[in-house]
Chains A and B, each alone.
Chain A
């Protein structure tokens, strides 16, 4: 069987089209699944991404030129036919479908199959070989429906408001933060945002995404005016930055909050279990729906998940990558399965 994509020490490479997908080494031509920093890196000769992903990438990468495509639009690159399909991870995120001489491979980047009502919903793509993440690739990770978590957050926020406390919610700047502000009940009180999150909000609003009204926290923001606020900030802002809101309850929103140990280590009063990555059930169903026989497993619980897939009859392989450890949840992962930290295969 020919290899449409190969795994090199610079990233996932397509020989037929002479391009890379989400490379971490400097390359001439990079196709990018989404704007998180472990997938979209600085220093490539050229970039190709979806129209919806490009503005945030531009903001983060600075002065680079990014070519864009619409979802499902086919581009011919060398001998490869390439198209981007929604991955449901964050706005603009894509699975990249590559077809060479009738053989179809899909590199899915990061994905979730749940519709968060905000990112373009995940679309299954039939293929011969599928490259999947495995951030939460263990059967201990099973997410609740988004509405259940939204209700938990609303209840917590309402209770804090009643006690005269601000609700400080830690979430990552691109994706999770906007998803949370979209799913909570904005009638409970004002939503305040840390500058890093509001910068992303501005970009997403400019490209036509609907977000609730938010107030950017600056040095001049009179915090007394917002006693019942929900304050969304990156977890790194917990501490001196969040202190100035006075009496408060702190919470984190992350898939890792499913583990008591991680939640305690974070020392937040509340942990809301919500992730932009597929849980165990979603990973398995997404893989089944591709119809692929060959599965390549990247960042996460790679070796365990690969062994499981082999038990299920797939021709599955571990692939070493430099993904993970970005702002999208990975930093809280328990350190048990990092054997792919070495050289690439």
Chain B
């Protein structure tokens, strides 16, 4: 695994795109086909399943290191990563043989069906054969948490260069439901038949946030739609079967069984891009309703009734088996509209309506009121644009409505992870309720490094109590917290939970008695929950 560890270290340490691609190329040129295949799989989130609980790993690591468990637990928050903590506390390996990546993945895969004693033996033996970085990677594979600082795009670019093929075509080949156990490197990367896998989606086209609407030119060049707060999905009907893919390249077909009805009506060779939304009586429900369905592999009947979904369709990528992504959006939308028009109206699919783009002012107005219909703002798409792959600037823009905000006081602070392990960056915030402070959210982004540094030194001097890594601090500093949504949550003391909370501003001008109250939050919940 030495070569893979070298690759990982380089990717981890350099921020330069060229160095990353060079490191990937070096690996691809030297590795065996099966190591290459596993590398592509790992870097695209196709990880082996977690083979053992982290509780057991901690115990075994402490035992092998000859330290009590409490000492191990003290080290963990300092390092900020379990796999790394284990790699560091273990005594040096007594033997080192350089087995390939595939060997260690097979080892991980072999663990799951074993008895606990046998698992322990395999893992302790592995730890004794790996150096610190290799152990770290092995532990990441064990805990199912493998992540690396490189985009799939760069992996694809390096691989395209090594195998001398077009990057976009390779991107398409690498999508779909393959695993290294179900395909060979040759079949996946070298063979020229992406249609071999009928479930294969197209790379999603992703929009950028727009900074300056004035740069977009005449409004007549644009198609405006409401930006829905659902799950981006690609619905595929090929060879009599249907598949639903998320943007994260996750197959969601079984989670949303209502789309099975579409199979009988969509012609073979149809691929629709859209948003899966909870939807009832002609109106979208809030994201909170949809959230009940996310993460469930199977759906009970009751939930199908309480949280029905539809696909808000906004683009057509394949039509009668032909890839039409090169056609302009106006044409694709036209085809999509006539397709949906001819479907029975009770099917769970609808055309995402265009917001009339008569002037930028009318669009600005529509954006302002988007939240009232549970939308996040507007999507602006150039009518003449092809459907590109990935996040490309110029033709697709999101124009989001301003977030909801509330002023709150920091009451707990905790050190960040990784790059921010030296700073207190994770805060818990409270609002007032009578004379009490009620915690209601955590946030850990939105401030500058300089601000985090300043608060870190303040926290150290104003700690009231410590609970493990968490410090209770004097309630003094007020922050404006921005968030995208709010929902009722009986699990929390405040009774509410926020979506995407972050710190918008450090309100050094605001005294503690001017922060918002729990009643303010409850009012927001009534309005937007």
Q: Enumerate chain A interface residues (CB-CB to B < 8 A).
A: 138-142, 258-265, 267-271, 301, 304, 307-308, 311, 332-339, 341
Contact between B13 and A263 (Cβ–Cβ < 8 Å)? yes
Q: How far is the CB of B67 from chain A (nearest CB, A)?
A: 5
Once the chains are docked, how many angstroms separate the CA of A264 from the CA of B149? Answer: 11
Top 4 A-B pairs, shortest CB-CB distance: A140-B88, A261-B421, A261-B418, A265-B419
Q: How far is the CB of A167 from chain B (nearest CB, A)?
A: 15
Contact status of A259 and B421, CB under 8 A, knowing A139-B89, A304-B71, A336-B415: yes
Nearest chain B residue, comparing its CB with the CB of A273 = B132
Contact between A264 and B12 (Cβ–Cβ < 8 Å)? yes
Once the chains are docked, how many angstroms separate the CA of A116 from the CA of B141? Answer: 38
Contact between A335 and B456 (Cβ–Cβ < 8 Å)? yes
Contacts of A140 in B (CB 8 A): 75, 78-79, 85, 88-89
Nearest chain A residue, comparing its CB with the CB of B456 = A335
Once the chains are docked, how many angstroms separate the CA of A337 from the CA of B75? Answer: 11
Contact between B466 and A339 (Cβ–Cβ < 8 Å)? yes
Q: How far is the CB of A25 from chain B (nearest CB, A)?
A: 19
Interface residues of B in 412-427 (CB under 8 A from A): 415, 417-424
Contacts of B70 in A (CB 8 A): 307
Judged by a CB distance under 8 angstroms, whether B165 is at the interface is no
Of A263, A265, A268, most buried by chain B (CB within 10 Å of CB) is A265
Once the chains are docked, how many angstroms separate the CA of A333 from the CA of B456? Answer: 13
Once the chains are docked, how many angstroms separate the CA of A139 from the CA of B76? Answer: 11
Sampled A-B contacts (27; CB under 8 Å): A138-B75, A138-B78, A139-B65, A139-B67, A140-B75, A140-B88, A142-B88, A142-B92, A259-B79, A259-B84, A260-B418, A261-B419, A261-B421, A265-B418, A267-B15, A304-B71, A307-B70, A333-B422, A335-B421, A336-B415, A336-B469, A337-B78, A338-B460, A339-B463, A339-B466, A341-B460, A341-B461
Contact between A336 and B77 (Cβ–Cβ < 8 Å)? yes
Q: How far is the CB of A159 from chain B (nearest CB, A)?
A: 12
Contact between B422 and A304 (Cβ–Cβ < 8 Å)? no
Once the chains are docked, how many angstroms separate the CA of A307 from the CA of B65? Answer: 17
Judged by a CB distance under 8 angstroms, whether B80 is at the interface is yes
Contacts of A141 in B (CB 8 A): 88
Q: Given contacts A259-B78, A259-B84, could you give 20 more A-B pairs where the C-beta distance is less than 8 Å?
A: A138-B71, A140-B75, A140-B85, A140-B89, A142-B88, A261-B80, A262-B421, A264-B12, A264-B418, A268-B13, A271-B13, A301-B74, A301-B78, A307-B71, A308-B71, A311-B68, A334-B415, A335-B422, A336-B469, A338-B460
Contact between A260 and B81 (Cβ–Cβ < 8 Å)? yes
Type the 1/0 row for B504-528, where 1 means its CB is closer than 8 Å to any CB of A.
0000000000000000000000000
Contacts of A264 in B (CB 8 A): 12-13, 418-419
Once the chains are docked, how many angstroms separate the CA of A334 from the CA of B77? Answer: 9
Once the chains are docked, how many angstroms separate the CA of A336 from the CA of B421? Answer: 9
Contacts of A333 in B (CB 8 A): 422
Type the 1/0 row for B388-429, where 1 means its CB is closer than 8 Å to any CB of A.
000000000000000000000000000101111111100000
Judged by a CB distance under 8 angstroms, whether B152 is at the interface is no
Contacts of B14 in A (CB 8 A): 269
Interface residues of B in 48-101 (CB under 8 A from A): 65, 67-68, 70-72, 74-75, 77-81, 84-85, 88-89, 92
Contacts of A301 in B (CB 8 A): 74, 78
Of A265, A308, A335, A338, most buried by chain B (CB within 10 Å of CB) is A335
Once the chains are docked, how many angstroms separate the CA of A259 from the CA of B418? Answer: 9
Contacts of A307 in B (CB 8 A): 70-71
Q: How far is the CB of A288 from chain B (nearest CB, A)?
A: 15
Once the chains are docked, how many angstroms separate the CA of A262 from the CA of B415? Answer: 13
Nearest chain B residue, comparing its CB with the CB of A264 = B419
Q: How far is the CB of A158 from chain B (nearest CB, A)?
A: 16
Q: How far is the CB of A331 from chain B (nearest CB, A)?
A: 9
Q: Which of A138, A260, A262, A308 contacts B422 (CB 8 A)?
A: A262
Of A140, A263, A338, most buried by chain B (CB within 10 Å of CB) is A140
Contact between B71 and A270 (Cβ–Cβ < 8 Å)? no
Contacts of A269 in B (CB 8 A): 13-14
Once the chains are docked, how many angstroms separate the CA of A140 from the CA of B417? Answer: 16
Contacts of A332 in B (CB 8 A): 422
Q: How far is the CB of B414 from chain A (nearest CB, A)?
A: 10
Type the 1/0 row for B171-191, where 1 means its CB is closer than 8 Å to any CB of A.
000000000000000000000
Contact between B75 and A139 (Cβ–Cβ < 8 Å)? yes
Once the chains are docked, how many angstroms separate the CA of A269 from the CA of B23? Answer: 13
Once the chains are docked, how many angstroms separate the CA of A339 from the CA of B14? Answer: 35
Contact between A336 and B419 (Cβ–Cβ < 8 Å)? no
Q: Which of B88, B420, B424 contacts A265 (CB 8 A)?
A: B420
Once the chains are docked, how many angstroms separate the CA of A268 from the CA of B71? Answer: 30
Contact between A260 and B461 (Cβ–Cβ < 8 Å)? no
Q: How far is the CB of B280 from chain A (nearest CB, A)?
A: 46
Contacts of B419 in A (CB 8 A): 261, 264-265
Of B71, B72, B415, B466, most buried by chain A (CB within 10 Å of CB) is B71
Contact between B424 and A335 (Cβ–Cβ < 8 Å)? yes
Q: Which of B74, B421, B461 contacts A138 (CB 8 A)?
A: B74
Contacts of A335 in B (CB 8 A): 415, 421-424, 456, 460
Contact status of A304 and B415, CB under 8 A, knowing A335-B424, A335-B460: no
Contact between B422 and A265 (Cβ–Cβ < 8 Å)? yes
Type the 1/0 row for B432-462, where 1 means its CB is closer than 8 Å to any CB of A.
0000000000000000000000001000110
Contacts of A304 in B (CB 8 A): 71, 74
Nearest chain A residue, comparing its CB with the CB of B149 = A264
Q: How far is the CB of A140 from chain B (nearest CB, A)?
A: 4
Contact between B415 and A260 (Cβ–Cβ < 8 Å)? no
Of A141, A258, A334, A339, most buried by chain B (CB within 10 Å of CB) is A334
Of B13, B15, B67, B461, most buried by chain A (CB within 10 Å of CB) is B13
Once the chains are docked, how many angstroms separate the CA of A103 from the CA of B406? Answer: 63
Contacts of A311 in B (CB 8 A): 68
Contact between A258 and B88 (Cβ–Cβ < 8 Å)? yes
Once the chains are docked, how many angstroms separate the CA of A262 from the CA of B78? Answer: 10
Contacts of A265 in B (CB 8 A): 418-422
Once the chains are docked, how many angstroms separate the CA of A334 from the CA of B424? Answer: 10
Q: Which of B67, B79, B89 contacts A261 (CB 8 A)?
A: B79
Q: How far is the CB of B58 from chain A (nearest CB, A)?
A: 13
Contacts of B417 in A (CB 8 A): 261
Type the 1/0 row for B342-382, where 1 means its CB is closer than 8 Å to any CB of A.
00000000000000000000000000000000000000000
